[in-house]
Chains A and B, each alone.
Chain A
Amino acid sequence: MSEVSGVWADLVGQEPTVAVLRTAARAAAARLAAEAAKSAGEGAAPSQPAGRSGMTHAWLITGPPGSGRSNTARAFAAALQCERQGCGECTACRTSLAGTNPDVTLVRTEQLSLRVDEIRELVRKSAMSPVGRRWQVLVVEDADRLTEQAADALLKSLEEPADRTVWVLCAPTVEDAVPTIRSRCRLLVLRTPPTTAVAQVLQRRYAVSPDLAVFAARASQGHIGRARALATQEEVRARREQVLSVPSKLRDLAGCLTAAASLVELAAEEARAATAELDATEKAELERALGVTGSGGRGPRPRQLQAAQKELEDQQKVRAKRLQRDALDRALLDLVAFYRDVLVVALGASAELVNEELRDDIERRAHANRPELILRQIDAILACRDAIAANVAPLLAVESMTIALLEPTRR
């Protein structure tokens, strides 16, 4: 296999997908060259059967959270815009990756669903020629959050694509995408990247120690963004440690209720930490874009400023809520991993433990409890995730989970 470089370098452990996309980008470039030669009157374009079959106008990239769906989509967009199919250095590559290329539109939502008007706007765009000389790439990062109406709007455009428009949709699993949409896209499945690959990237990119890199890679269970946060942010590691201290606090009913409250509060804290800075930056950017100087000054205020500020604040509120939900879900997944480690030891399997550093506690539990009980504990956590996804009040759901996690021997 050729060395992976340029825009593909940071797609950790996704070699098969990268190979498909590189072939597609080359085929796309060949098609542009053939078209240019043809319209410049250099006779009929050479037929490119192999090249053509490598490229298509609609893609669906699926993969578990953190496997790099949106990074993959951006890398592909860059490769389509780049004269050298993704060198990683030219303006086309840099702007495509950063989301500032006129011909690359990235749509993601921090809301719970993608609104139909956002998709309609995208469909309108999809009918246009590219600004530059190559392709127009429309990336929908949360295709699983399309409302039914929005999916219908999108479908039309997928069925009758404009010549130079490429759609790249992303979703966690293929089942998350509406079947009619799925059937019109070429599917790419990202895998959970192996721990060693993630650790290598952490060391290379963030210069963290090998031990810390391996710990973060393992603890993140292949979620690259999470691994980066664990490797580079002390407070993220501290919060995770607190989450994993929950099982040892479940000694009685009172302990369960306290632990539940602290889990929910930890998630809220994480969401606050993530949004506070972002909110301020966005507000400043908005004001800057509208030309407001300083604060509280008597500078001129454009008329639409207030409306724009209100809209931004509303979006930020919804985002905070979603981030809190995501953070709580991550905490629950950390707990699932903990109990799965216990089960692995109890069953005598020789798999790698996610929480190697908690081996003592894990082994003690594995010996004290029957596998059936451990399985029930894992089920209780999964049930809690489902309940929260179904809009049950988070504290209520987490309380009933911690109570279900109580181990009878300690009662």
Chain B
Amino acid sequence: MKFRVDRDVLADAVAWVARSLPSRPSLPVLAGMLIDARDGELLLSGFDYETSARVQVPAEVTSEGSALVSGRLLADISRSLPAQPVDLTADGGKVVVTCRSARFTVQTLPVEDYPELPEMPTASGIVKGDVFANAVSQVAVAAGRDDMLPVLTGVRIEIEGSAVTLAATDRYRLAVREFSWTPEKPDLSATALVPARVLADTAKAFASGSDVTIALAVPGSGTGEGLVGFAGISGGTMRRTTTRLLDGEFPKYRTLFPPEQQTVARVETAPLVESLKRVALVAERNTPIRLTLGDGQATLEAGSSDEAQASESIEAAIEGESLTIGFNPQYLLDGLGALEAPVAQFSFTQPTRPAVLTGLAAADAEPNTDYRYLLMPVRLQN
């Protein structure tokens, strides 16, 4: 194996693949990055049995072949190289990296012990990278972080033709985002539960590219079941990644949204966030902030009577009955942040029932129901 490759192209590609390598490999070969030089291109692969990553970059290949080397080390080396063409040569049990006057020798791992990367699932469709990244970030905020409740650490993906729904919940809040995409087959119907952390990282990695291909298994197809795949062109190189799905029953979330509403309040998001941050300063750990809506005002209060107290009011457009409700301040902040809208709309039924947040482009606009954030109230002590 012998090839020459552009330094930046190599460093980017290696860094991207190295991201998914395990920091504590269960088998030594899993710390490896597979370098596969073929006709005019280079394939770099990493796999830790959960997530696989592969990138395809152009290279001047003088001799085809493959080698397995420590991925972290290759990442450290390629990052440190000067901006000059890089030559890689396999030589016995070593790979020699040269770039101008820099020369590194890296020991190889046994290629024959390296596992085969999983195949990409077959059913797929395309969405814009930034749309997808944005949707995922809005939903992932509500995903659970407790590995002992694995199902709640996932983002549920539901596909019905051209409609995609993402949902996540940690039992205290639920975020649901809908967007449309272009499926390869118009009648595609599929679901998947993807670990939220991996999904968020992946979506971010594809955000700058134009299109992302999302690939899911058609049940019973036998290929790629239990996996989700993503592919896209980023930094001029073709990248693909697969990750294992969570197995388990995601809560039936659609019925959690209350069918009717008693009180609807619209508040400008930015001032509300500012007030909330200030008032939350005096809220003791794990105690709620109190939100009162009435008389054209949203009032935030926190703190107990004998310790520090805070209270702020801002203007609000309120329809329906007045109401006082308690929220976990961080969860409320997360939701207001995820709306990404200048105006937030709160819909309530009762102080003991969940509230629903939606975003509006302006105070008199229609709420954008593509994104809904449902937040459980916290019982208030008198």
Residues of A within 8 A of B25 (CB): 289
Q: In whole angstroms, how far apart are the Cα atoms of A133 and B121 in the complex?
A: 12
Cβ A123 vs Cβ B109 within 8 A: no
Closest CB-CB distance, A52 to chain B, in whole Å?
Answer: 19
Binds B, one of A60-68, A259-267, A290-298, A375-383: A290-298
CB contact between B246 and one of A39, A123, A129 (< 8 Å): that residue: A129
Q: Is A131 within 8 A of B49, CB to CB?
A: yes
Residues 25-48 of B, flagged 1 when their CB comes within 8 A of A and 0 if not, give 111110110000000000000000
Instruction: State whether A102 touches B49 (Cβ < 8 A).
Output: yes
| Of A39, A100, A102, the contact of B220 (CB 8 Å cutoff) | A39
Q: Does B151 count as interface, using CB distance less than 8 angstroms? A: yes
**Given A102-B49, A129-B246, A302-B76, is A36 in contact with B107 using a C-beta cutoff of 8 Å?**
no
User: Does B70 interact with chain A (Cβ within 8 Å)?
Assistant: yes
The interface stretch among A76-84, A162-170, A218-226 is A162-170
Residues on A with beta carbons closer than 8 Å to the beta carbon of B290: none
**How many inter-chain contacts with C-beta < 8 Å in the A-B complex?**
107
Establish whether residues B72 and A291, one from each chain, have CB atoms under 8 Å apart when the complex forms: yes
> Are A302's CB and B49's CB within 8 A?
no
With a CB–CB cut-off of 8 A, which chain B residues contact A285? 28
Collect the chain B residues with CB atoms within 8 Å of residue A292's CB.
Answer: 107
A290: chain B residues at CB < 8 Å are: 31, 70, 72-73
Question: What separation, in Å, do the CA atoms of A39 and B190 have in the docked complex?
Answer: 13
**Are A300 and B23 in contact, with the CB atoms below 8 A?**
no
Task: Take A102-B115, A120-B148, A304-B23 as given contacts and tell me if A162 and B247 are in contact as well, using a CB distance cutoff of 8 Å.
Answer: yes
Q: Are A293 and B106 in contact, with the CB atoms below 8 A?
A: yes
CB of A93, distance to nearest CB on chain B (Å): 15
Contact (Cβ within 8 A) B246 A291: no
The docked-state distance in angstroms from the alpha carbon of A127 to that of B76 is 34
Bound complex: CA A400 to CA B51 (Å): 56
- A124 contacts chain B at the CB level, 8 A cutoff: yes
A282 (CB) vs chain B CBs: closest residue: B28
Q: Is the CB of B220 within 8 A of A36?
A: yes
Cβ contact within 8 Å between B107 and A293: yes
| A299 CB within 8 Å of chain B | yes
The answer to whether residues A39 and B109 also contact, given A129-B227, A164-B247 and a CB cut-off of 8 A, is no
Pair B246/A299 contact, Cβ less than 8 Å: no
Task: Tell yes or no: A41 within 8 A of B by CB.
Answer: yes
State the CA gap A130–B224 with chains docked (Å).
Answer: 10
- Report yes or no: B74 in contact with A289, Cβ–Cβ below 8 A: no
CB-CB nearest in chain A for B52: A131
* Shortest Cβ distance from B150 into A: residue: A127
- Residues 36-52 (chain A) with a chain B CB within 8 angstroms: 36, 38-41
Q: In this complex, what residue of A is CB-closest to B49?
A: A102
Chain B residues whose CB sits within 8 angstroms of the CB of A127 once the complex forms: 150-151, 246-248
Contacts A286-B28, A293-B106, A300-B76 given; does A128 touch B148 at CB 8 Å: no
- Measured CB to CB, the closest approach of chain A to B18, in angstroms, equals 11
- The complex places the Cα of A295 from the Cα of B246 at a distance, in Å, of 43
Kindly list chain B residues whose C-beta atoms are within 8 Å of the C-beta of A102.
49, 115
The docked-state distance in angstroms from the alpha carbon of A290 to that of B21 is: 12
Q: Range of interface residues on chain B? A: 35 or more
Q: Which residues from chain B contact A40 at a C-beta distance below 8 Å?
A: 220
**Whose C-beta in chain B lies nearest to the C-beta of A41?**
B220
* Chain A residues whose CB sits within 8 angstroms of the CB of B26 once the complex forms: 105
Residues of A within 8 A of B50 (CB): 128, 131
Closest chain A residue, CB of each to CB of B217? A129
A288 interface contact, C-beta 8 A? yes
Separation of A121 and B31 alpha carbons in the complex (Å): 18
A128 with B107, Cβ < 8 A, contacts A40-B220, A120-B147 known: no
- B78 to chain A minimum Cβ distance, whole angstroms, is 11
For the complex, is A410 an interface residue (Cβ under 8 Å from B)? Answer: no
Q: Are A288 and B109 in contact (CB under 8 A)?
A: yes
CB-CB < 8 A to B29: which residues of A? 289
Bound complex: CA of A131 vs CA of B244, how far in Å?
7
**Count of chain A residues near B, Cβ 8 A:** 41
Whether B104 is near chain A, meaning CB under 8 Å from some CB there, is: yes
Interface membership of chain B positions 136-175, coded 1 if the CB is closer than 8 angstroms to chain A and 0 otherwise? 0000000000011011010000000000000000000000
Known contacts A162-B248, A285-B28, A300-B104, A291 near B73 by CB under 8 Å = yes
Q: Does B219 contact A (CB under 8 A)?
A: yes
In the assembled complex, which residues on chain B have CB atoms less than 8 Å from the CB atom of A128? 50, 150, 226, 244-247
**How many Å from the CB of B19 to the closest CB on chain A?**
15
Cβ of B64 to closest chain A Cβ, rounded Å = 23
Docked Cα-Cα span, A102 to B246, in Å, equals 16
Asked if B118 is an interface residue, CB under 8 A from chain A, the answer is yes
Question: Is A310 engaged at the interface, CB distance under 8 Å to the other chain?
Answer: no
Pick the residue among B74, B76, B220, B226 that contacts A130 (CB under 8 A): B226
Chain B residues numbered 88-119 whose CB sits less than 8 Å from any CB in chain A: 94, 104-107, 109, 113, 115, 118
Do A302 and B73 have beta carbons less than 8 Å apart?
Answer: yes
Taking CB atoms, residues of chain A closer than 8 Å to B77 are 300
B225 sits at the interface (CB 8 A) = yes
Q: Which residue of B lies closest to A285 (CB)?
A: B28
Taking the complex as formed, is A156 at the interface, i.e. its CB lies under 8 A from any CB of chain B? Answer: yes
Question: Does chain B have a CB within 8 A of A153?
Answer: yes
B72 close to A302 (CB less than 8 A): yes
A165 vs B226: C-alpha distance in the bound complex, in angstroms? 12
CA distance A99 to B246 in the complex (A): 23
A36 CA / B26 CA spacing, docked (Å): 31
Cα–Cα distance between A68 and B31 once the two chains are bound (Å): 31
Q: Are B70 and A302 in contact (CB under 8 A)?
A: yes
A411 within 8 A of B: no
A303 in the interface (beta carbon within 8 A) = yes
Residues of A within 8 A of B153 (CB): 124
In the complex, whether B69 has a CB less than 8 A from a CB of chain A is yes
Q: Shortest Cβ distance from B88 into chain A, in angstroms?
A: 14
**Residues in chain B near residue A153, CB distance under 8 A:** 148
What 0/1 pattern do residues 105 to 117 of A give for CB contact below 8 A with B? Answer: 1000000000000
B163 to chain A, nearest CB (A): 22
B222 within 8 A of A: yes
Q: Contact at B107–A291, with CB atoms within 8 Å? A: yes
Minimum CB–CB distance from B251 to chain A (whole Å) comes to: 13
How distant is A159 from chain B, measured CB to nearest CB, in Å? 12
Cα distance A41–B220 when bound, in Å? 8
Establish whether residues B69 and A291, one from each chain, have CB atoms under 8 Å apart when the complex forms. Answer: yes
Query: Do residues A39 and B28 form an inter-chain contact, with CB atoms below 8 A?
Result: no
Question: What are 7 inter-chain pairs, A to B, with CB distance below 8 A?
Answer: A40-B220, A127-B248, A128-B247, A162-B248, A285-B28, A288-B109, A308-B24
Name B residues whose Cβ lies closer than 8 Å to a Cβ of A. Answer: 23-29, 31-32, 49-50, 69-70, 72-74, 76-77, 94, 104-107, 109, 113, 115, 118, 147-148, 150-151, 153, 219-220, 222, 225-227, 244-248
Chain A residues at the B interface, C-beta cutoff of 8 Å: 36, 38-41, 99-100, 102, 105, 120-121, 123-124, 126-131, 133, 153, 156, 160, 162-165, 285-286, 288-293, 299-300, 302-304, 308
The 8 closest A-B pairs by CB, nearest first: A129-B226, A291-B70, A127-B150, A39-B220, A291-B73, A162-B247, A289-B28, A289-B31
